[in-house]
């Protein structure tokens, strides 16, 4: 089978990820393109995929009941939001109380 490209939707398992692969096909009756999504379980040997990553999958021998794909490469990493650290010197201008004080 040819390699497929999809987006990681779950990485809660050890060395396994679930990848959603979208495909478009033409409906001749309505003359519209229809999008269908297939979800594949794939083996991630180094456990380095995160949710939102764009990955390329290669077909392999059956590794388990539902796992027949292997992550061959990570094409694009997802951007993960990291909130800025709060500084302890911030004070409320009206009360003069520190933001960390309760």
Instruction: Return d(Cα 86, Cα 8) in angstroms, integer.
Output: 31
For the domain spanning 4-76, the CATH number is: 2.40.50.140
- Domain edges within the chain: 4-76
Give residue for tokens 């009756």: 29
Q: Residues of 25-43 as b/e, b for ≥16 C-beta within 10 angstroms?
A: eeeeeeeeeeeeeeebbbb
In the prediction, which pLDDT does 1 show?
A: 84
Give 5 or 97, the one with higher predicted confidence.
5
The answer to whether 71 and 57 are in contact (CB under 8 A) is yes
**Which of 69, 65, 93, 92 is closest to 21 using CA atoms?**
69
The predicted-structure confidence for 45-74, as pLDDT tens digits, reads as follows 999 999 999 999 999 999 999 999 999 999
Q: What is the pTM of this model?
A: 0.75
Q: Cβ contacts of residue 7 below 8 Å, gap of 6+?
A: 19, 20, 52, 53, 54, 55
Confidence class of residue 83 from pLDDT cuts 50, 70 and 90? confident
Report the sign of the C-alpha dihedral through residues 81, 5, 39, 12, in that order.
negative
């Amino acid at each position: 089978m040819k390699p497929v490209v999809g987006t990681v939707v779950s990485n809660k398992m050890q060395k396994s990820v679930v990848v959603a692969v979208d495909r478009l096909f033409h409906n001749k009756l309505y003359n519209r393109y229809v999008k269908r999504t297939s979800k594949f379980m794939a083996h991630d040997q180094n456990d380095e995929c995160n949710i939102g990553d764009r990955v390329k999958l290669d077909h392999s021998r059956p590794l388990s009941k539902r796992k027949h794909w292997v992550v061959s490469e990570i094409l694009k990493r997802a951007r993960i939001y990291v909130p800025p650290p709060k500084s302890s010197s911030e004070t409320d201008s009206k009360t003069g109380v520190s933001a960390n004080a309760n």
